[in-house]
Every structure is written in C-alpha cells, then in structure tokens.
Amino acid sequence: GAVVSQHPSWVICKSGTSVKIECRSLDFQATTMFWYRQFPKQSLMLMATSNEGSKATYEQGVEKDKFLINHASLTLSTLTVTSAHPEDSSFYICSASRLAGQETQYFGPGTRLLVL
C-alpha cells in the first residue's frame, strides 16, 4: 500500500508560538507532497506544493513566511506554522504522490491544530 503518516495528530499551543507538523511517506518515495487545510464543514484547500530539494510553491493567498514548508527528503516534508494565532486553528492534511502529474495522491491522517 501507500501509507502517509503525520505527526502530531493534534496539537494545542499558545498564541505566538510556532508549530511544526511532519508528513512522512512510509513505504514509497514521494516526489511531490502537498499541504492542505480544512475548516469545519468545508472543502480541503490546497496551501502549497513541495518537491524534494526545491522551494515550495504556494497558492494564492497563502503566506509563505507564515507557513514554512521544507521537503528535505523523498519521504519527509514539514509544515511550520510560525507565530500561530487563533485563526490558524484548523485541520492540516498532507498528501504525497510518487510522480509528478496525474498520480494518485495518498493522504495523511491530518493534524488538528488549536491555537489558544
């Protein structure tokens, strides 16, 4: 199978702190990883696309200095929410695909972030 893990599964932090979320492809090498955000009862919104060894491509309206993405290896991408505020509270989901293009994306279980 194609398994993607995320860590942590949930996190509560104080306003102003930074939070790092890890996304790992466990049994395959992911050329591309994607980061999504989902608000309750809403769709998954793509935040950014990351390719191993290169800078992430951010979607319009997503602050790259706020949401730092690092794709250090073919099995690991990290999303750091810097100086988190309550409005950053959301469900963050990553996905990974083996190839660029129309390859099925395999999603992680998501990380619930609550900023107090």
Partner 1 sequence: DQQVKQNSPSLSVQEGRISILNCDYTNSMFDYFLWYKKYPAEGPTFLISISSIKDKNEDGRFTVFLNKSAKHLSLHIVPSQPGDSAVYFCAADNQGGKLIFGQGTELSVKP
In degrees and rounded to multiples of 5, residue 88 shows phi and psi of: -85, -10
Q: Which is nearer to partner 1, 12 or 100 (CB)?
A: 100
What is the DSSP annotation of 24-60? EESSS--SEEEEEEE-TTS-EEEEEEEETTSPPEEPT
Q: How far is the CB of 73 from partner 1 (least distance, A)?
A: 19
Strand 111-115 to 10-13 pairing: parallel
Omega into 86 within 30° of 0, i.e. cis?
no
Tokens 């190839």 found at: 99
Segment near partner 1 (CB under 8 A); pick from 34-42, 61-69, 71-79, 81-89: 34-42
109 belongs to the binding site for partner 1 (CB under 8 A): yes
Q: Which stretch binds partner 1 (CB under 8 A): 12-20, 65-73, 79-87, 96-104?
A: 96-104
Cβ distance to partner 1 smaller for residue 44 or 82: 44
Using the rule CB under 8 A, is 34 a contact of partner 1? yes
For residue 12, state whether it binds partner 1 (rule: CB under 8 A).
no
